Amino acid sequence: MEDIVLKPVGQVVSQTDNPDEMPLGGLTAVIEVYPQYAAALKGLEENSHIWVLAWFHKAPRDILRVNPVKVNPDLPEYGVFALRAFARPNPVAMSLAKLEKIEENLLYVSGLDAVGGTPVLDIKPYYENDIVFSPDTPYIRGKDREMRQGLIKKQAIVYHQEECQDLHIAVRMAVIAEDHLGKLNSPDLNVQVKGSLCLGDCIQGISKARLANPPRFSFCFSPDCAETKWTKDTAELIITLREIPGNLDFESLSDGELFIIESSSRQKI
């Protein structure tokens, strides 16, 4: 086969050019499209999200198996085609970013997983057909609580599209549920939500639980409370938000200060 020659259409301008400083949710950044390609941007502003295909120019290309070290170094090795690993034979990066605004040949984006100086190969609109709401995925469990909370929060924001107070409550509840019951999008994990629309929406986005096929999710609108009940096999976990005075720093509160947590195991009949 002949080699394929690609010419970058632009580059990433970011606050960091160090891949180790890139958080899992990506960063706000600017994509500078080179002037000779600016005409190709016509109409792109009609999209809220874009796929950015870039070239991880600093990535090793001779590695075929890796540990998902960034998320959890204790997990087993995977082939690089089974992960979104940095190292791969052709280090094509694929990042879904939110398109905030376009000014001439500059795309202002958030959630971009590419450091400053990364050559950009292509930009494509993100379509609703790209969504698979509840796919099967390996359980890449985060190495510590901070990591797990970050991964869950990212899923919640992608789904719910606003970082409201109820999103933070949902994320904290989900971290506790994951600690008790494991993988949150497991087909045999059911969740019932009693609370606000935002809480229900965030929990659904995190757990990928649908109302049917299979039925894993139920919701009761009750704006004055926030309660989630998680069940898997014989295990049951109920997490209820305590009444919190409004002026307290939510993030500094422990699980026990925030929630009443009841865990039990039902008898199998």
Does residue 214 have a cis peptide bond before it, meaning omega lies within 30 degrees of 0? yes
Distances (CA, A) of 62 to 65, 69, 86, 113: 10, 17, 12, 22
Q: How far is the CB of 167 from Zn ion (least distance, A)?
A: 6
Q: Does 198 bind Zn ion (CB under 5 A)?
A: yes
| Euclidean distance between CA atoms 115 and 18, whole angstroms | 6
Query: Helices 145-160 and 165-181 meet at what angle, rounded to 10?
Result: 130
Nearer to Zn ion, 139 or 221 (CB): 221
Nearer to Zn ion, 77 or 162 (CB): 162
Short-list 24, 165, 29, 138, CA closest to 83: 138
Q: Which stretch binds Zn ion (CB under 5 A): 21-29, 137-145, 164-172, 253-261?
A: 164-172
Q: How far is the CB of 252 from Zn ion (least distance, A)?
A: 21
Q: How far is the CB of 202 from Zn ion (least distance, A)?
A: 7
Candidate residues 75, 87, 158, 164; the one interacting with Zn ion per rule CB under 5 A: 164
Burial of 111 (0-12, 13-18, 19+ CB in 10 A): buried
Q: Does 156 bind Zn ion (CB under 5 A)?
A: no
Q: Which stretch binds Zn ion (CB under 5 A): 38-46, 87-95, 116-124, 154-162?
A: 154-162
Nearer to Zn ion, 147 or 164 (CB): 164
Q: Which stretch binds Zn ion (CB under 5 A): 62-70, 139-147, 180-188, 197-205?
A: 197-205
Number of residues binding to Zn ion, judged by CB under 5 A: 3
CB 41 within 8 A of CB 154: no
- Phi-psi category of 7—alpha, beta or left, where left has phi over 0 and alpha has psi -120 to 50? beta
Q: How far is the CB of 199 from Zn ion (least distance, A)?
A: 8
Binding residues for Zn ion restricted to 11-50, rule: CB under 5 A:
none
Eight-class DSSP state of 87: -
Nearer to Zn ion, 142 or 205 (CB): 205
User: Which residues here bind Zn ion, judged by CB under 5 A?
Assistant: 162, 164, 198
